[in-house]
Structure 1
Amino acid sequence: MNTVGNYTCTCNYGYIANNNAETFMDRQGVQCIDRNECVDYSGLCGINARCHNTPGSYYCTCAPGFRLRSGQTNFTDPSTDSCETDICYTDKSICGEGSCKNGKDGHECECKSGFTNHGHKQMKCTDKNECEVSGLCGINARCHNTPGSYYCTCAPGFRLRSGQTNFTDPSTDSCEIDICYNNTTICGEGLCKNSKDGHECECKPGFTNYGHKQMKCTDRNECEVSDLCGMNARCHNIPGSYYCTCAPGFRLRSGQTNFIDPSTDSCEIDICYNNTSICGEGSCINGKDGHECECKSGFTNYGQKQMKCTELKCDTCKTDLSKHPELTNITSLMTNTCLSLSGNKEYLTQTDGERFLKDFLDALDDLLSKEIKDAEIMTRIFDIVESMLKLIGPLLNNNQTKMSAKETEVELLVKRGSSSPDGPLMMSTNSTQFTSNWKTATGNTYLGFTTAALLGYKSLEGSLNSYFGNLMKQENMKYEINSKVVTVVVSNAETKHLQEPVNLTFSHLKQMNENLTCVFWDHELEHRGWSTRNCTKVRSDANETVCSCTHLSSFAVLMALYDIGDVYELRVITCVGLSISLICLLICIATFYLVRSIQCTRNTIHLHLCITLFIAYFIFLVGITRTENKVGCAIVAGMLHYFFLSAFCWMCLEGVQLFRMVVLVFNTTVRHIYLVAAGYGVPAVIVAISAAVNADGYGTEKHCWLKLKDGFIWSFYGPVCVIIIVNVFFFLITIWKLADKFSSLNPDLNNLRKIRAFTITAIAQLCVLGIMWVFGCFQFDSGTLAISYIFTILGSLQGVMMFVIHCCLSKQVRDEYVKYLADVCTPQKRKYSEFSSNQASKSQTSKSVQNTGESSI
């Protein structure tokens, strides 16, 4: 800018001097810099807008969420344009599948292809269902809508001419009938393909439609081709293929089971074919001279290559030698020799069967020379004998071999040949003869030989006279062996159930012709011993008995000595003894109830004790053996259970009463209701609980008593043991207190002696009844004769003992008996006697109050 005589400078629009001067001289060093209008001028762009500075100028834009009314992107003069709300900016989903554009009236939605807002510009764009247009896909087709588009597929039973899966333009493709659709059987074993003329069937390998493309594919029978498999072979058609096998009696050289190409394998003669029994438990191998049997481990054919393999059973008699060391030598002999025979061909050619038999009998002599008292050991010995005789038989050179040793004698028979032997079979020892037939000895499997052996024991019957427990429980008899014991062994492996019975004739050790029974040693019993199962007596005389059995084992003849359950003496003792006891108990009941001078708490207990024992023994006498009616027998058993327990409860109350008499000084009398509740209520609870838990526990096959099975008998013996222990406890304290009182300075000797007598009689009573039931436990279990006598005697005399202890040994009761007898015998002095009796009664009553010890001790 020029002035007169000088000049001044000003900055251009949009710039300002750095010293903020409006004008300046150039020589002043002032510079023009950019003016930031957005800072210098507040509100320059107006509301809802943002200012943006530029060199020498500026521009305005709308804030986010707003747009210029003019539609421009920026402005400089807010008076000519303004920012208004931008709806499309704030709501991105306002148009759905479309683009949002601002307009004068707000916004407009421009929809994508395949979407529509049905002419409403401000409405959200949604999918257009093209399938609503009829005939869009043409005939035989179905329309499928997709977001923004659609596609067409052929209806079921039709397919696209182009072979595609779907289409959109029916003018370029169309649906025609699909013959193969959903028709899996149209081509059989082939693949269906559509063609211009309909369909074609493409067959799988091994199937054919004989050149007719539309015909179903069926199996091609390759076996129709002659000689397809070669000589000695058979063709087998299978669906889609075939295979060849050798004809019966031939086998493949390769060892395979079948083949297809005869040029690679051929059929030759197979001796082992279809003959599974030719080698028994061995492998049949074809050889140049026929076949050979290769035995498995544990089997042998005794060196004969073409003979069947038989099992050696080397571990049959395996036992715990630590428990039975006496079996060590004989077990080792059998096991080692048996293992040597298994697969050892050289040993087989060197074995001397007779020598082997002698070694075995010597080892058996050593074992039997000692007394055997264990059924388990005897069972093991019988097992070893049977196994050894089966092992030795095939090794013997002769058809018949007899040998005797110190404790045994034996006969062995051997039959060899291509076919199994037939005809009668007989063997014998000095005291026994065995008869059967060779067919039974051979069984269903013939191994090329059959052996039979009969071994007799010269003195074994003495050691085996104790193992009749199973017979005694079943028949209640006592037995004794009346013959020599023998063991019978044959080749037949199935001797538990023979089709034809075998017969044994035994010579008797004692001449007798009654109560003889045929038995064998039963290995299957829980308690090993003699059994009569499947053995019957054919005939018998004083010298011998013939037995017939349908199995083989060790046998003997028994004679019954007596029947434990039906001993006449026991019946007499029971009937007479219990009758006397019932009479004695009845006298005791009358005495304790009627004689007033002796009535007290202790004698009340004795009264009820006698009542329970009277009822219990009466039921025992009339009902203990009534087992034919199970319900009645169970009721009898339950009543016996209750009344015997009640008797023990009353004895326990007596011990408690004696304890109270010694320990307590006053008020030793117990209310009667408490005694009855304890004496009759406690056993009722025990019996009720026992019956509820196991009602079947009442009544056995022989007695109407508690069953021993599952420990049910302890519902009686358990409470009895508890009562005895409690009584012993009270008696010990009572005796200790009595001893203490006897040693005091001023003892009441009269009362103390009386209580001591009471205690002694109570202990004696408990011991008698307790010991009786100890033997009673064994009576119902084992049933031996000695225990039966002890139990019967103690039980029968129980009432007599009660009468003796509580009546005869009591001076006061004896005086009452004498007085009563005097009244009966001298009726002429009745008046005087009555007077004297009344006076004596009063006197006795006075003494009773002073001397019972219940109130003064």
Structure 2
Amino acid sequence: MVGRWNLLILALHLFLPAVLSQTCRNGYDYDRKKNECIDVNECEEVNDNNIGLCRENAACHNTVGSFYCTCIEGFYPSLGGNNFSANSTVKCRDINECTQEGICGSNAKCENTSPYYSCICEDGFISTTGNKSFSQGERASCIDIDECQGGEVCDQNATCRNIPGSYECVCKAGFGLRSGKSKYTGNQEQCEDICMVDKTICGNGTCHRGADGHYCACHSGFTNYGYKAYQCTELNCDVFRDTGFLKEKFRAAYDLVVQLRENCMELTERENPTQPDGEDLLKRLLNVIDELLSSGVFKDNRTVSTFLDLVEHALKLVGPFMKPPGTNRTGTHTELQLLIHKGDKLPQGAKTLSTKHAQLDIQMETAAGDLSSYPGFATVSMLSYANLEKSADGFFSGIKHKEDERLQINSRVVTVSVSNTNTSHLQKPVVLTLYHLKKQDQSNHTCVFWDSSKDGGTWSPKGCSVVKSNDNYTVCSCSHLSSFAVLMARHDLKDRFELKLITWVGLSLSLICLFICILTFWFIRSIQSPRTTIHLHLCISLFIANLIFLAGISRTENPVGCAVVAGFLHFFYLAAFCWMCLEGIQLFRMVVLVFNTSFRTLYIMAAGYGVPALIVAVSAMVNAKGYGTKKHCWLNLDFIWSFFGPVCVIIVMNIIFFLITAWKLAEKFSSLNPDLDKLQKVKAFTITAVAQLCVLGIMWIFGCFQFEEGTIVMTYLFTIFGSLQGVMLFVMHCLFSKQVREEYANILSRFCAPKKKRYSEFTSTQSSKAQTSKSNHDTGESQI
């Protein structure tokens, strides 16, 4: 029995732990000593490759009853998240830290490694640890290596200059590289004498090397404006030669030209010239230009050419001596903007210069020229003139235009000057905006420049084109530089058959009527008086003027003869207005000063014919070319005010005289005992004179509107009133006069019904006429 119990105890001892261990959960194991289930550390298990349950690049983390896996530092799980189980498909992959910006700091490049990264310093740099590279965790950075302290890295004619990551060898003054570069690195080149390296460095001069570098000794006729290291360029001093018109009339201008020539010659002849005072020269130049423009010295195109060439070259000479960035000056008749750049580098980019009347857009490369001819500075000047357009107007032989067009300058004349001597064919055109003096349809504008080489000077459109134009301004693009302006076309009246017919018929009738008026005022003694004398010469002037007009207004084949015809027309039309003015003066004297007073015949003749003769003589001396045009023998359109000016003065004077006369007449009528008979006659004379003024004045008012297209109504009115002046004067002074009508009736009665009168009738008639003549001798009755 005891043996059986022993066997049972032995069996329990052997099989009970196995039974109990089978009752522990996963992740636990039975501990015999403690006789309990305890946690199993799965992370201690490895496979045949000595790799744990979490595989490569992963760390195992035990938990009570289980475990989990995480990627080690420098790796990340392929499926995201942080933890994963051993039986999942997650793999730990390397993190590329080099994708993080600035992880290695400046002057270093990142190199990814597994699991971390390393930083490698760029060429010319070394880490603060003394190595070329450093790894994660090392607090290091890349610093510059100063190569210039490592011995003679440059040749003896160069200076070493350390730069971040490298160095450069800069040639000393007076030395250069054959490659044309200013510095080098390594041992590929060496600095040599600049005069031997670049034999064109001085242009038209001899290169020398000094302690401060090279300097240029310019050949005769060339200069570097006193800047020794600058290239020698040509300077033409002949443009500052003695000009006769300046020496005779403008001493200040002549003295300035002499000084400019002396400065120019000094710059081209001396090796070390004295630099003139640019500010003083510019001030004097603008003052002289103002004096010349205000004096009206420019009488022909050659004078204008001399002036513009002189100014352009003066600006070229003065510009280099101004201080950067330039200056703006405004004078009485000038506006100037000047820009200057100085330095070894060729200037680039666009610049805009503006004045009140113009704007210039130019590339600085245009002003400086090519690098091979760049003198070390670049200047741009834009100068606009007031009043010069009047002197330079009319010289259009270089322009082809329609026969019915008259050209006129419609902007300020503007001179553009740069330091570059080769501006005849610009690679990049300049853009010039010129503001109009008068508003004009944009289709009539032309961009032109002053060409001094042709016909002594003329405006020409060659090389210039219109980019944009409106009523206010025109934008021009030009491929060369000079003096510029904008022209507008003014249209002549087109010949029409209807107008010609009206002119011929009307003038023919006027000639007949004027001839009758002349016979009437000359031969009928009963109506003769100072007033009829004025009427007589008024009719004579208009008769001759109309006759010359019919015979010679279109005879333009002979320029001299045409000018003579224009002169006679100018004289006789002015004479007609002068006689009309004398009538107004006579009425004024009769009513305001002394009643029934009159002029002496000699004085009347001097005023009626002497004044217009003087005006025509002065006009011919001032502008002889103003007489005669290409189509008509009349005054040039630009000279027409030599006629309209006196006419306007006469019309204004007569209006004043007539207003005063009417006022005095009203006072006399309102008096207690007026001489009504005489006052009524003077009143009638005044009304007739006013009507006469309206006839002649209105015609020429309509004539003022003949300068533009689209004035056909004014053209017909001008033609009708102008051609029928003689008819109207005949109606006013003859048919409306009761006394003249009676004389006409007597003359007709003698021819139509000739009868012998008795002595008593003849005596009575003669006595009546004599009394009438006596009473009207001083007033010359003419009633409406």
TM-score (norm 1): 0.37
TM-score (norm 2): 0.40
Pick the structure with greater CA Rg: 1
The structure where helix makes up a greater share of residues is: 2
Instruction: Give the number of the structure with larger relative contact order, counting CA–CA contacts within 8 Å between residues 6 or more apart.
Output: 2
